[in-house]
Amino acid sequence: MTLNEHKKHTAIARPANGNFGRNEWAILGASCTVIKLLADQVITGLSHQYKCAYADTSHNDDMIQLPGRLANGAVLEYTDQLNYSQLNYEAPLDPFKQRELFSAMDLVLINGNHQQAKAQVAIIDTNKRASLQKRIAQLTNVQLFLLADNASELFDFVKEAIPNWQEIPVLRLNNDTLQIIEFFKDKLKQTKPILNGLVLAGGKSARMGFDKGTVNWYGKEQRYYMADLLKEHCDQVYISCRDVEQQKEIAPEYISLPDTFTGLGPYGAILSAFRENPDRAWLVIACDLPLVDAGVIQHLVDNRNTATIATAYQSPQNEFPEPLITIYEPKSYPVMLQFLAQGYSCPRKVLINSDITSLQSPKDDALANVNTPDELDRIKRILHTKVASTNAS
């Protein structure tokens, strides 16, 4: 086969990552000590709300001997340091491993003297003019200038290299700490993942005997009723389906999404949604929750926490999270793939063993699901009682 005959791999959507994470800034133009101090201040100001990380390169030129068991030939060493965990790798981390390790981070600050990032903060320090000029090619997406005490304006070579320099905010490095923290906070708010909706309607409904998504509780098929509920909060709403054949049954005014991770039930549907758009958060809801109303959805959205991988209701039957009415953040995608690689395809197991935000349902019976004819009759009686009570009042 010639090179021209070679077929490329299937093109799939890639997350908008940098070298480390989605939101990363390299700080350069100052000494490493100044950069570390600035990173400390920003992380201190944001860590109560966001997961923050820092990346650097060691300056200890005397450390030529590998630490611990690495010196004896181990390629990986894990140490439980009681109040933190430590991993030592024998080999350098490639970009793929870096992104895996930093995938849960909301903010990554990087010492730009040693590492690069997709966005930069440039410090204008007269004493480090030559250092910054040497790295001028790294200033590809400067989003903030910081003036050191000895600087009053940007260097000429910076203005020449950055055509839109006048549009970039300028703050004082040592006097505007609160404003610097606020800058990063605003950036993180701006990059809050947009919310999409996913109605799980691809099950075979074996116990029910007919498609649960077609049950008419509120004047329309339940899968459409749920989709309409989500439209109030989501940019786009999809109805999940098993395959192309089931897709043909869905009304054309609704967007359908066939599973591309087949044979995995809800787990595959959620992964298929992330494969469709890995940078969106997904509000996932099963079509067999007929007592969920607008208030239950509103409460979930109002209490969404993007710093965790998901925001979920706690099941009323036990202390476990209910995975089929949950907001999954983009950072949950690699987590779910890692669980799948280890042989697990239960979304509840992912939530139990991950950092999530757990909520109590605002209504006691809201999460009751319908899987059998007996449960169907029970929910009919509940709804009938509610309607009768409303009419009486």
Q: How many CB atoms lie within 10 A of CB 8?
A: 5
Spatial contact of 134 and 113, defined as CB atoms under 8 Å apart: no
User: What pLDDT score does 381 carry?
Assistant: 62
Structure tokens at 84: 């933190």
Q: How many CB atoms lie within 10 A of CB 343?
A: 6
Averaged over successive runs of 10 residues, the pLDDT of the chain (393 residues) comes to: 60 92 97 97 97 90 76 94 92 92 96 96 98 96 98 97 97 98 97 97 53 71 93 96 83 94 94 97 93 94 97 89 97 97 97 96 80 66 57 51
d(CA 132, CA 262): 51
Q: How far is CA 78 from CA 89, 103, 144, in A?
A: 9, 20, 37
User: What pLDDT score does 150 carry?
Assistant: 96
The domain segmentation of the chain, as residue ranges, is 24-57+101-190, 195-386
User: What pLDDT score does 195 carry?
Assistant: 98
Structure tokens at 245: 């054949």
Q: How many CA atoms lie within 13 A of 131 on its CB side?
A: 16
User: What pLDDT score does 209 carry?
Assistant: 41
- Chain segment 329-386, per-residue pLDDT in tens: 999 999 999 999 999 999 999 999 999 999 999 887 888 777 666 666 666 666 656 6
Backbone phi and psi for residue 178, each to the nearest 5 degrees, phi listed first? -65, -40
d(CA 225, CA 208): 19
Among 89, 84, 103, 93, residue whose Cα is nearest residue 24: 103
CA–chain centroid gap for 270, Å, is 13
Among 117, 119, 112, 149, residue whose Cα is nearest residue 134: 112
In CATH, the number for domain 195-386 is 3.90.550.10
CB-based burial label for 206 (10 Å; 0-12, 13-18, 19+): exposed
**In three state form, how does the secondary structure of 145-183 look?**
EEECCCCCCCCHHHHHHCCCHHHCCEEECCCCHHHHHHH
Tokens 């009053």 sit on residue: 152
Spatial contact of 126 and 31, defined as CB atoms under 8 Å apart: no
In CATH, the number for domain 24-57+101-190 is 3.40.50.300
User: What pLDDT score does 242 carry?
Assistant: 85
User: What pLDDT score does 56 carry?
Assistant: 95
Q: How many CB atoms lie within 10 A of CB 285?
A: 25
Secondary structure of residue 313 in the 3-state scheme = strand
Secondary structure of residue 357 in the 3-state scheme = strand
Give, in degrees to the nearest 5, the angle at Cα 172 between 153 and 35: 105
For residue 132, the surrounding DSSP H or E stretch is helix 129-134
Structure tokens at 104: 């849960």
User: What pLDDT score does 316 carry?
Assistant: 81
User: What pLDDT score does 155 carry?
Assistant: 97
